[in-house]
Amino acid sequence: MKSLTIKTKDQAFTKSMEDQDCDKRFEQFITELLGEKPIEKNTTEGQKTAHSLPTSTYEYRGFLVVKCERCGAIRAFCSKTLIGKFICGNCGHETPFLPNMARVDVICKCGNHATYQTNITDDHFDIPCVACGSPIDVEYNYKEKQYQSMGRS
């Protein structure tokens, strides 16, 4: 099983598929994009490989606030590596990430400031402060196109 990946600075899209399918689709993609067949190159491990291709999930890293698609549980956490899905601790459901997750900019009453990305589409929700654990009321600011602590404009 191989994966094809397209990455930008902030996002990545990956598709897992059988080895032969992956190689065939990669070659088709590069041929269509560049008008020529891809050239294999040697990796540092000495294995021959081509470039990478797209995927079926979008990947993010950093502070995330994710809502489970099945049970609605919300979890805030920090991922040091790119991840493409959230596995709910309550029900075990895998929620894939959206292509354009919204920014969440919060300031707690304790003075802590944090910035997250979220898949939540509600007008408002609560998020626990990473420093003191107090709930922070967050609402969507349509003018700024991001979530902010309630009372901020």
Per-residue pLDDT reduced to its tens digit, 14-71: 788 887 787 777 777 766 766 555 545 444 444 444 444 343 468 999 999 999 999 9
- Confidence band for 106, pLDDT divided at 50, 70 and 90: very high
What is the C-alpha separation between 147 and 138, in angstroms, rounded? Answer: 6
Taking every pair of Cα atoms in the chain, the longest distance, rounded to a whole number of angstroms, is 58
Question: How many CA atoms are closer than 13 Å to the CA of 62, on its beta-carbon side?
Answer: 13
Which residues sit opposite 26 in a β-bridge? none
Evaluate whether 114 touches 103 at the Cβ level (below 8 Å).
no
Q: Does the pTM of the predicted model rise above 0.85?
A: no
Residues 114-134 pLDDT 10s:
999 999 999 999 998 888 989
